[in-house]
Structure 1
Amino acid sequence: MTTLRPSRTTDGDALVDLWRRAVDATHDFLSTEDRQAIDAEVAGFLPQAPMVVAVGDQDQPQGFMLIDGSHMEALFIDPDVRGTGIGRQLLQHALALQPQLTTDVNAQNAQAVGFYRRMGFIETGRSPVDSQGRPYPLIHLRHPG
């Protein structure tokens, strides 16, 4: 059974590892150089960031999300448990807190785009580059509440 809890400082290494495996499984469009640069950025801030973590019976992280106000900055699921409802559980928790939640998704990540559309998100715009100015187009999404 998966439960949700706030992140702890002791989760840092496990969450960075989860992020790396999730990105490697879903972001094959990243260049090697950009993947390495993003990894360094994430490893620098993720362990201290306040997140909601989905954990299994042994309290091992299976996914996490980072929300800033009404914007979901990140949602990543361990590739070993993708498709089991953990992403949906985390997102439903976020929507209970922020019914008109917004997020951005890489346009090249077809699985994520499909997930958010199935969850009721609507497109509100697009950007030709990501938030760091890299050449990875984003789709801006909002849940209608």
Structure 2
Amino acid sequence: MPTGATASLAADQAGNARYLGAARVAPGHAVVHEGGCGALAPARLGPVGEPRVLVAGRARARSDDNARMQPRSHAPGVQPVIRPATDADSHAGLARVWRRAWRSANPSVRPVAPPGHWEARVRAEFGPPCAVLVRAVGPEVTAFLVLDVGGAHLHQLFVDPACQGRGVGAEMLQQVIRLCPGGWTLHVATGNHGARRFYARHGLVEGPVDTHPATGRERVLCRWAPAAAAAAG
């Protein structure tokens, strides 16, 4: 899956455009992003649905990770796990994955908005009523998703570029299906053909097209339902 960003890139493009001035941003191919779920500062999720405090600043983003895309070395035998975000998963750590993925999806854009831009968005958008799940290898987050379980809508799905092409996006989607077995939706940019093909392979059916309320970017609503997914499979 070309994930790096979990669909529209609308808010990302708007933020980066503000940072760059009149920069022109090419459509990304791996982001699922349409809005947020409130501030993460007052709450994080332990067991899904249980709000707790996510403490910022436990880890700092490197000052220049713009050119660093290589995975870190991990101790032998350390296996990746998908789990709810905890207070050990700092805003900086989540923002680092987001920024790398955005840069990977938009290679023509230089420079990319600084880490603080992405950290501010994490604080503002990753929180109740959404569940935040991360895929981690030891302490390092390599992917995350933001899911409104009650509203059955996937807001964001990002995979670090160093981990793309390994089935990580599909693993994360299985968590969405587990939490919303009756069906769920997401928005994806109409020009994001790679992501649209990926979601179609995983049983999502495209529906109405509208525009993002903040940016006017065209997007399509995709829906996963058990019957449609079974037919696609």
Residues 206, 221 of structure 2: 8 Å contact kept: yes
Unaligned segments of structure 2, at least 5 residues: 1-78, 227-233
- Map 1:40-59 to 2 at 5 A: 42-46=121-125, 50-56=131-137, 58-59=138-139
Report the counterpart of residue 100 of structure 2 in structure 1.
21
Is the aligned partner of 1:63 residue 2:146? no
- Map 1:119-138 to 2 at 5 A: 119-127=202-210, 129-130=211-212, 132-138=213-219
Structure 2 residue matching 1:10: 3-state secondary structure: coil
Q: Which residue identity lines up with residue 86 of structure 1 in the other structure?
A: V
Over 3 Å counting, the alpha-carbon distance change for 1:103 and 1:61 in structure 2 is: same
Higher RCO (CA 8 Å, separation ≥ 6 residues): 2
Report the counterpart of residue 102 of structure 1 in structure 2.
185
More helix by share: 1
Q: Measure the CA separation in 2 of the matches of 1:27 and 1:126.
A: 23
Question: TM-score, normalization: structure 1?
Answer: 0.81
Over 3 Å counting, the alpha-carbon distance change for 1:5 and 1:40 in structure 2 is: closer
Structure (1 or 2) with the larger CA radius of gyration? 2
**RMSD over aligned Cα, in angstroms?**
2.6
Is the aligned partner of 1:78 residue 2:196? no
Question: TM-score, normalization: structure 2?
Answer: 0.53
Over 3 Å counting, the alpha-carbon distance change for 1:139 and 1:119 in structure 2 is: same
Report the counterpart of residue 144 of structure 1 in structure 2.
225
